[in-house]
Structures are given as C-alpha cells and as structure tokens.
Amino acid sequence: MKISRCFVAAGVLALCAIISSAETSAFGDEPPRGQFDGNTDIGSPEMAGSASYDAARQEYVLAGSGIDMWGSHDQFHFLWKRMKGDFILRARFQFVTKGVEANRKVGWMIRSSLDVSAPYIDVAEHGDGHACLQYRRSQGTNTQDVLLPITDADVIQLERKGNTYVIAAAHSGEPFVSAQLSDLALLDSVYAGLFVCAHNGKVIEKAVFRDVCIIQPAKAASVP
C-alpha cells in the first residue's frame, strides 16, 4: 500500500492510502479506483464516461460528457466514495482535453444520492477558468451558485462541517480563496467524489487529478 503526498493542516488525519494496482477491486473485474468505491454516469449522458487510477503515478483520470450540472437535474461523470460525518476533500487537477465549451467543468462534489435531481454541493472550475460554489438545496429544485474571485486555479478543496460547507480554490503554493454555505441539510451518509462534465452531450472531456486527499478531522476531544 502506497501513501500519496498530501498537504495536511495540524489536527487532522489524512486518509490518503492508495490501493496498489495489484489489489482486487471491490467491484469484481472492474479496475481499482484508489480511495474511491465506484464511478457512474449521472443522468444518462448520451456518451459514457469513465474513470481510471494509475497507482504508480498516483493519478486519477476522469472522462465525462453530459449536457450540464444546473437547473433541476444533472448530467456528468462521477467518481465517488460513501462517507459520513465531517471531512475535507482536496486535489490538484488539470484538463487534458483542449475543450469545446467554456462551461465544461471539473471539481469535488458531495451528493445525497446518485439520483439525477439530488441535493448536492460542489466546488467547480470551468473551462474558461472561473471557479464557483454550486448547490441544490432540495430534491428537484434549481441549482444556485456563488462565484469565487479567482481564475485558473489548479487546487480545489471542499470541506464538510455538519450542515456548513466551505469551498476553496488556489494556485499551487498560494493561499486558498474560499466561500461558505450554511444550513445545507444533506444526508449524514453521502456520496463524495470527483466529477467531470463536458457541458455538451456530443463531447467527452477528460481531466487528471493528483495529490488527491480525503481528510477526516480529529474529534475535538482527541489528544495528540
């Protein structure tokens, strides 16, 4: 078992153990997905997406289509892990396809279910470089967003603290720019993971994610 690089603040425990490519996947003959449990297309895009994990390089590559993640329903490809409680998700990323749509997007998402209209929150960077917080408060309602004052970030983070969520984006080696959303009541057990959306049902976009960390903060009563 290898350990990936992870920049972790004091007082948190990082779950960055990487499953070796020789290990057996929990999904039978499907390829291993590192720290994640599975991957799926949300909303039945016309073109199927995919996810792969390179244990030697400790990189995840996601490919996905989908018309958008907006309105009352979504289409995208999702690499997910079932999680409970508080946690922090962090990664470096870059698109590896030239891109067709300015609003193609990649990022972290926390979602109540894999249903097309499920409540969720994400931190997304678009193909034109702008980053934002996106969320749907309840089943089937329209997505809302909050724009971050940063462009062309290559590090993204999404933190869950009860019903409060903090998103952040940065250029590598620089401080995070963040935004917060309170009183978003997702389920205790959620789907958390990485996503790619092409913003075009006839296109597949691809992104690579590195230094992927799933961090669980130590409890307040914990003694170092």
Tens of pLDDT, residue by residue over 42-83, are 999 999 999 999 999 999 999 999 999 999 999 999 999 999
User: Judging by DSSP bridges, how do beta strands 164-170 and 177-181 pair with one another?
Assistant: antiparallel
Structural domains in the chain, sorted by start:
2-217 (2.60.120.200)
The pLDDT of residue 33: 81
pTM exceeding 0.75: yes
Residue 222 pLDDT class (50, 70, 90 cuts): low
Q: What is the pLDDT of residues 79-108, one digit of tens each?
A: 999 999 999 999 999 999 999 999 999 999
Mean pLDDT of the chain: 87
DSSP string, 121-170: EEEEEETTSEEEEEEE-STTPPPEEEEEEEES--EEEEEEETTEEEEEEE
Task: Tell me the mean pLDDT in the region 160-178.
Answer: 97
Q: What local confidence, expressed as pLDDT, does residue 219 receive?
A: 72
